[in-house]
Amino acid sequence: MADTILVVAEQREGKLNRVSFETIAGAQAIAKEMGWTVEVVLAGSGIASLAQELAGKAVVRVYALEAPVLATYTSDAYVFALKQLIQDKQPKLVLFPHTYQVRDFAPRLALALGRTLIADAIGYKHENGKLLFTRQMFQGKFAADVSFGSDGPWLATFQIGAFRGDQAEGSATVENISAAVADGPARVTPHEVFQEAKQAVDLSQSEVIVAVGRGIKEQKNLALAEELAKALGGEVAASRPICDNGWLPLERQIGSSGQTVAPKLYFALGISGAIQHIVGMKGSSTIVAINKDPEAPIFEIADVGVVGNLFDIVPALTEEIKKAKA
Amino acid sequence: MKILVCIKQVPQKDAPLKLNESGTWIREDVSYEVNEPDAYALEEALRQKEKHGGEVVVITAGPARSQQVLREALAKGADRAIHLEDDKFVQLDSTNTARAIAAAVAEENFDLIVTGLQSDDFGAAQTGVLLAEILGLPHATIIIGIEKTDSGLHLKRELEAGHYQYVDLPTPAVLTIQSGINKLRYASLIGIKQAKNKPLRKVAWAEVEPKLSKNLQQIERLYVPVKQKKTEMIDGPAAEVARKVTEYLKNTARVI
As for the ipTM of the complex, it is 0.91
Kindly tell me if the per-residue pLDDT of B4 is higher than 90. Answer: yes
SS3 category, B84: strand
Domain count, chain B: 1
CATH of the domain at B162: 3.40.50.620
Instruction: Band the pLDDT of A198: cuts 50, 70, 90.
Output: low
Cα–Cα distance, B238 to A152 (Å, whole number): 55
Query: Please, which pLDDT band fits residue A316 given cuts at 50, 70 and 90?
Result: very high
pLDDT 10s digits, A205-223: 889 999 999 999 999 999 9
| Interface residue of A13, A19, A20, A75 to substitute, partner B, most B CBs within 10 Å | A75
DSSP per residue over A143-202, as a string? EEEEEE-S-S-EEEEE-TTSS-S---B--PEEEEEEPP--SS--S-EEEEEEE-S--S--
Residue B52 lies in a domain: yes
pLDDT greater than 70 at residue A197: no
Quickly state the pLDDT bin for A200 (edges 50, 70, 90): low
The answer on pLDDT for B171 being more than 80 is yes
Rounded distance, CA A203 to CA A208, Å? 9
- The answer to whether residue B138 sits within a structural domain is yes
- Report the pLDDT averaged over residues A88-101: 96
Rounded to 5 degrees, what angle do the CA atoms A254, A108, A277 make? 10
pLDDT at B157 over 70: yes
- Write out pLDDT tens, residues B51-94: 999 999 999 999 999 999 999 999 999 999 999 999 999 999 99
- In angstroms, the separation between the Cα of residue A125 and the nearest Cα of chain B is 12
pLDDT of residue B89: 96
**Residue range A5-11: mean pLDDT, rounded:** 97
Q: What pLDDT does residue B160 have?
A: 83
Interface of B with A in 46-65 (CB under 8 A): none
Amino acid at A243: C
A127 and A224 inside one domain: no
**Residues in chain A within 8 Å Cβ distance of B231:** 299-300, 302-305
Query: Quick one: pLDDT band at residue A114, thresholds 50, 70, 90?
Result: very high
User: A36 CB contacts (<8 Å, ≥6 apart)?
Assistant: A2, A3, A4, A5, A30, A92, A93
Q: Does A168 have pLDDT greater than 80?
A: no
Residue after which a domain boundary falls, among A191, A216, A250: A191
Q: Which residues of B touch A111 (CB under 8 A)?
A: 95, 130, 133-134
Do residues A93 and A119 share a domain? yes
In a domain, B251, yes or no: no
Q: Which residues of B touch A101 (CB under 8 A)?
A: 159
User: Do residues A202 and A131 both lie within one domain?
Assistant: no
Assign 3-class secondary structure to A225-269. HHHHHHHHCCEEEECHHHHHCCCCCHHHEECCCCECCCCCEEEEE
Q: What is the mean pLDDT of residues A104-111?
A: 98
Contact yes or no for B231 and A304 at CB 8 A: yes
pLDDT at A199: 63
CATH code for the domain of A74? 3.40.50.620
**For the residues B127-142, what does the mean pLDDT come to?**
97
Residue B210 and residue B71 in contact, taking contact as beta carbons nearer than 8 Å: no
Let me know whether A292 and A173 are in one domain: no
- Interface A-B, measured as beta-carbon pairs within 8 A, has a size of 241
**How far away is chain A from the Cα of B82, in angstroms, using its nearest Cα?**
25
Dihedral sign, Cα of residue A232, residue A236, residue A240, residue A244: positive
Of A187, A194, A324, the CB nearest to B163: A194
Structural domain including B191 reads: 2-211
Q: What's the pLDDT band for A171 if we cut at 50, 70, 90? A: confident
Whether B219 maps to a domain, the answer reads no
**What percentage of chain B has pLDDT greater than the value 70?**
100
Contact A188 B235 (CB under 8 A): no
Q: What is the CATH number of the domain that holds A259?
A: 3.40.50.1220
Cβ A256–B94 below 8 Å, yes or no?
A: no
Q: For residue B170, is it within any domain?
A: yes
Q: Is residue B110 part of a domain?
A: yes
Q: Are A276 and A253 in contact (CB under 8 A)?
A: no
B229 part of a folded domain: no
> A313 to chain B: which residues are within 8 Å by CB?
238, 241-242
Chain A, nearest residue to B227 by Cα: A300
What per-residue confidence (pLDDT) applies to B126? 97
Contacts of B253 in chain A (CB under 8 A): 265, 285-286, 303
Residue A124 pLDDT exceeds 70 = yes
The residue-averaged pLDDT of A8-26 equals 92
Average predicted confidence (pLDDT) for chain B: 94
Q: What is the structure's pLDDT at A141? A: 87
A203 and A69 housed in the same domain? no
Q: Residue range A106-121: average pLDDT?
A: 97
Structural domain for A42, as ranges: 4-191
Instruction: Work out the average pLDDT over A277-303.
Output: 92
| Predicted confidence (pLDDT) per residue in B183-226, tens digit | 999 999 999 999 999 999 999 999 999 999 999 999 999 998 87
In a domain, B242, yes or no: no
Say what the pLDDT of residue A20 is.
94
Does one domain contain both A78 and A8? yes
Domain boundary among A191, A223, A258: A191
Residue of A nearest to B130 (CA): A108
Strands B2-6 and A304-307: unpaired
- Predicted local distance difference test score (pLDDT) of residue A50: 96
Q: Are A54 and A42 in contact (CB under 8 A)?
A: yes
Report CB contact under 8 Å: B216, A148. yes
Q: Among B13, B138, B180, select the one facing A244 at the smallest CB separation.
A: B180
Q: Where does the pLDDT of residue A76 fall: very low under 50, low under 70, confident under 90, or very high at 90 and above?
A: very high
Q: Are residues A293 and A187 in the same domain?
A: no
Find all residues with CB under 8 Å of A175, minimum gap 6, and list them: A61, A62, A63, A64
Considering only CB atoms, A188 lies closest to which of B167, B224, B231, namely B167
**pLDDT above 90: percentage of residues in chain B:** 85
A173, A218: one domain: no
Average pLDDT, chain A: 92
In chain A, the number of structural domains is 2
Cβ pair B120, B36 in contact under 8 A: yes
Q: Which of A191, A223, A246 is the last residue of a domain?
A: A191
Q: What is the pLDDT of residues B221-255, one digit of tens each?
A: 999 887 777 899 999 999 999 999 999 999 888 88
* Shortest CA distance from B216: residue in chain A: A149
Q: Counting Cβ atoms within 10 Å, is residue A131 exposed (0-12), middle (13-18) or buried (19+)? A: middle
Residues A184 and A245 in one domain: no
- Report d(CA B170, CA B150) in Å as an integer: 9
CA distance A76 to A182: 9
